Structure 1
Amino acid sequence: MEMFDFSKISVLVVGDVMLDVYYKGAVERISPEAPVPIVRVENVKHNIGGAGNVCNNIVNLGGNTYLLGFVGDDDNYKKLSSLLTESKINNFLVETIRPTVTKMRVLGEHQQIVRVDFEDKIANYSTKDYELLKKNIEDTIDKVDIVVISDYKKGVCSSELCKHLISVAKSKDKKVIVDPKGTSWNKYIGAYFVTPNLKELKDISGKEFFNENDSIVKTGLEVLDKFDFENLLVTRSEKGMSLINKKEIYHLPANAKEVYDVSGAGDTVIATLALSIARGIDKYESIKLANTAGGIVVGKLGTVPVTKTEIEESFYIQDNHKLISLDKLLIKLKDLKEKNNRIVFTNGCFDIIHKGHISYMVKAKQLGDILIIGLNSDSSVKILKGESRPINNQFDRAEILAAFNFVDYVVFFEEETPYNLIKAVAPDVLVKGGDYKVEDIVGREFAKEVAVIDFVDGYSTTNTIKRMKG
């Protein structure tokens, strides 16, 4: 979808860069040395954290980014540098005598047991460090469309640096979005958007209040008056988000989502917001996108980014009940099967819908009660048909399919074949078109029956494209 095309957007991210390390394993007994669980480590994973995670989200959403900050001359920086290169994140990091900030988490059975932080208690970076960082800002500012300050209160975002960065950005007509930390917000004066969570808003206001609209708005307006920000976007956990500025108030409910891990959610929100605003999407749609992205990432374990496909699918699914994620489809299927509905499954690219497609799907629906279409994603179509395909993107194709009353659900799959999708759905009837032999049909072992429906002669997307080309 054009709305989600961030390929021409570049974002400068300045802030505290970190390495996140996860030790994951099984807990089977308590230590004889102390009343603590013993974790038998089965997997070790290294992720880009802090301001780097903002960049990782930007890249995974299809944008371009430049990361500026401080690191140490140590093994953790070497690992982090490798991850940044692998993720195609442009970076100009200043090596200092301080260690690379590293957070190590130990998880047993998906439960975080302990976090160990490697950092200086007070990160006193030198004047030379900051001067090098300022030079990197000035060398990079003309290459980007928008600026993000990702402040984790680890020393990079000093008052002087933030004021310098905002001044340089405004002189170049670049908007600045801030993910704040601490209670020294004077350094953010002049920012276009500041995105505190509920605790951060309480901290800066110096008072306690309930997570209710009136309290959020009253406190938010006081903060706006004090610091001269254009917009305040307060993230409110289960209450969603609130946009507050001097002209308007906008409350956005939270997306219902099972929460596994909130670490990195703020990074995802600010990355999506920055890309959307730089793309020219209005504030309300930008916030809606950021809210959707945040809802996705809290369902993941660890500091991992949201992807463009995930946000497109989730954003679109909100408005079309027939386009459904596999997880939600399986929940619905459990109920449908218990009520003895006969489930029919077929799949295809359905790039340019023609008479043959419609005839085929109508006949497929006649074989049962519920017709599920497994739709090849754009990347899957390219594998099958080549780089020039699809003609229509996956969401346009899905919307057309969903418009037919004989189609009940549409679900995407990314692989070359729908083998895993058919295995999960386990339909009563698996339908294929053309001259397939039953023994050659992928996923047949997971269906109770297999049906082959003849195509209508003379109709195919390939032939349609040839005729269009003359």
Structure 2
Amino acid sequence: MSGPLVVVGDTLLDRDVSGAVTRVCPDAPVPVLDERSATDRPGGAGLAALLAAAQGTEVALVTALADDAGGARLADLLAAAGVTVYPLRMPGATPEKIRLRAGGQTLLRLDRGGEPQSPAEPAPAALDALLGASAILASDYGRGLLRQPALRAALAEASAPVVWDPHPRGPAAVPGVRLATPNLAELRQLTGDAGAGSALSTASRAGQELRRRWRAAAVAVTTGSAGAVLCHSGSTPLVVPPPSPVDRVEDTCGAGDRFAAAAATALAGGALVSEAVQDAVAAASAYVAAGGAAGLTDEPPRPAADPAAPVAELVARVRAAGGTVVATGGCFDILHAGHLATLRAARGLGDVLVVCLNSDRSVRGLKGPDRPINGEGDRARLLAALDCVDGVVVFDEPTPHAVLARLRPDVWVKGGDYAGDGGPELPEADLVRGWGGRVVTVPYLAGRSTTATIAAARSRDGNLVKGAA
């Protein structure tokens, strides 16, 4: 990646006013917000630049700034974030979006700044920045900067990949952009599509229509918690779901900016469009999971959540209802039919099944430096996707003793190599029996094991190499 990521578009001043609501106004049936704090940050294209810079990317911003207190505040905030700004003079006042919030919810948004006015001509340095970019993000917030003729001409002639994040009130993208990134609502307004059918069918149909109209290489339609749909020159769209579901959404403000900035950064690094969209979905999902715009403060970070907490809550609910909690454990490095047989048998012994999964470090200690083949994140996701598994807890120790002591399952299940008849006693047996739990084994499927699977794959690879020689 040579040259900065250049963001060009409308910048606003965003302000979050947070407080508490404890009473209703006496002269109107509206809540009274007692202000406790106020946070300023760049919005619009400024937020996209800020988010990209926060990931360590060199970022330049071509935008219009008014000669007022709001414009000065934006310049200070962007400079503090390490963003190089190429300002165009903007008549009138700085546009502001003020959100009044309480309890993590937005009560009201107040907009200031009046109607958009045409900015002045860009300085030569701003046009040179576009020529030297590794990638360009056109971040349109409908205030007219991307209608500026000199900027449009420079964008149309740029050799760097251009990502166009549109606004329904803004102009069409310049021809030849590498990727356009509307959300589903914006796409419907841009194309006039009535939205008949599912979100997927609308995104596919209208996305292709927008791609043809704008002569864009591809259109990625963001669909909220479902991820994105990539429409390209082929007839089959690419559906990109988030890597994991976001359990709690506090604030989605800026998710589209995070998506577009991540896609542009990936393209600057030489990624394919499909790879850039996958990176963008993952980045936007992580941004929302971390609190969205509400998380962009200088407050100290919250303590990390306990990954076992949701499973512990599940276990508590089942136990309170008089149910039986079953647990099993292992590495589950390459999931095979033997694992599935064990897990299904274990689930049949109770009302909920929790899998205690060895972490990557734990697996290396048990199996050697070449294992695991698959990382703990992938192994946990595959297990959690099985209908017989209700929860997964990753543990870092050589044995699951600590996590078992916390969950205290009613039944602890292991595969058939601990089947008694002179075989070794389960190391966890005394611990589980200490709270009245039962320890059982279930049969393996003959001939299925991860070690045998790896050995067979390596043997086939070796034979292929010999045959090629």
TM-score by length of 1: 0.64
Distance 1:374 1:67, change over 3 A: same
What is the Cα deviation at residue 427 of structure 1? 7.7
- Identify which range, 205-214 or 143-152, moves more after superposition: 205-214
Aligned residue in 2 for 1:326: 305
Q: Which amino acid aligns with 1:267?
A: D
Distance in 2 (alpha carbons) for counterparts of 1:273 and 1:305? 21
Distance in 2 (alpha carbons) for counterparts of 1:374 and 1:30? 54
Distance 1:334 1:373, change over 3 A: farther
Is 2:174 aligned against 1:188? yes
Q: Is the 8 A contact 1:56 1:305 kept in 2?
A: no
Is 2:57 aligned against 1:57? no
Distance 1:242 1:118, change over 3 A: same
What is the Cα deviation at residue 226 of structure 1? 2.0
Q: Is the 8 A contact 2:118 2:145 kept in 1?
A: no
Residue 222 (structure 2) aligned to one of 235, 238, 259: 235
Aligned residue in 2 for 1:347: none
Q: Is the 8 A contact 1:402 1:408 kept in 2?
A: no
What is the Cα deviation at residue 30 of structure 1? 0.3
Equivalent positions of 1:335-346 (< 5 A) are: 335=314
Structure 2: gaps spanning 5 or more residues? 298-303, 328-354, 362-368, 380-391, 397-402, 408-469
Aligned residue in 2 for 1:281: 271
Equivalent positions of 1:314-463 (< 5 A) are: 326-335=305-314, 399=375, 409=394
Is 2:222 aligned against 1:253? no
What is the Cα deviation at residue 122 of structure 1? 3.3
Indicate the RMSD between aligned Cα atoms, in angstroms: 3.6
Is 2:128 aligned against 1:139? yes
Q: Which amino acid aligns with 2:252?
A: V
- The superposition leaves residues 8-50 of structure 1 with CA deviations (integer Å, 9 ceiling, x where unpaired) of 6620000011111111011000011211111111111111211
What is the Cα deviation at residue 106 of structure 1? 0.7
For the pair shown, the structure with the greater C-alpha radius of gyration is 2
Residue 81 (structure 1) aligned to one of 65, 75, 78: 75
Q: Is the 8 A contact 1:27 1:37 kept in 2?
A: yes
Secondary structure at the aligned position of 1:157 is classed as helix
Residue 38 (structure 1) aligned to one of 32, 45, 64: 32
Distance 1:264 1:327, change over 3 A: farther
Secondary structure at the aligned position of 1:45 is classed as strand
- The superposition leaves residues 64-105 of structure 1 with CA deviations (integer Å, 9 ceiling, x where unpaired) of 100111111122222222211221111122343321221111
Distance in 2 (alpha carbons) for counterparts of 1:195 and 1:402? 28
Q: Is the 8 A contact 1:183 1:203 kept in 2?
A: no
Distance 1:43 1:189, change over 3 A: same
Is 2:146 aligned against 1:160? no
Structure 1: gaps spanning 5 or more residues? 1-5, 308-324, 343-368, 376-391, 412-424, 430-470
Number of aligned residue pairs: give it: 340
Aligned residue in 2 for 1:130: 121
Q: Is the 8 A contact 1:101 1:117 kept in 2?
A: yes
Distance 1:215 1:226, change over 3 A: same
Is 2:90 aligned against 1:96? yes
What is the Cα deviation at residue 187 of structure 1? 4.4
Aligned residue in 2 for 1:20: 14
Distance 1:410 1:120, change over 3 A: farther
Q: Is the 8 A contact 1:296 1:306 kept in 2?
A: no
Distance in 2 (alpha carbons) for counterparts of 1:11 and 1:327? 36
Q: Which amino acid aligns with 2:37?
A: N
Distance 1:45 1:192, change over 3 A: same
Distance in 2 (alpha carbons) for counterparts of 1:401 and 1:250? 23
Q: Is the 8 A contact 1:20 1:102 kept in 2?
A: yes
Aligned residue in 2 for 1:271: 261
What is the Cα deviation at residue 180 of structure 1? 0.5
- Identify which range, 193-202 or 138-147, moves more after superposition: 138-147
Residue 289 (structure 2) aligned to one of 278, 292, 299: 299
Q: Is the 8 A contact 2:142 2:168 kept in 1?
A: yes
Aligned residue in 1 for 2:63: 69
Distance 1:233 1:401, change over 3 A: closer
Q: Which amino acid aligns with 2:121?
A: Y
Distance in 1 (alpha carbons) for counterparts of 2:405 and 2:59? 44
Distance in 2 (alpha carbons) for counterparts of 1:187 and 1:51? 16
TM-score by length of 2: 0.64
Aligned residue in 2 for 1:435: none
Higher relative contact order (CA 8 A, sep 6+): 1
Residue 194 (structure 2) aligned to one of 194, 208, 218: 208
Secondary structure at the aligned position of 2:8 is classed as strand
What is the Cα deviation at residue 216 of structure 1? 2.5
Distance in 1 (alpha carbons) for counterparts of 2:227 and 2:357? 35
Aligned residue in 2 for 1:225: 212
Distance in 1 (alpha carbons) for counterparts of 2:252 and 2:211? 26
Aligned residue in 1 for 2:42: 48
Distance in 2 (alpha carbons) for counterparts of 1:113 and 1:88? 32
Distance in 2 (alpha carbons) for counterparts of 1:181 and 1:400? 40
Distance 1:44 1:185, change over 3 A: closer
Distance in 2 (alpha carbons) for counterparts of 1:152 and 1:234? 17
Secondary structure at the aligned position of 2:56 is classed as coil
Secondary structure at the aligned position of 2:143 is classed as coil
Secondary structure at the aligned position of 1:326 is classed as coil
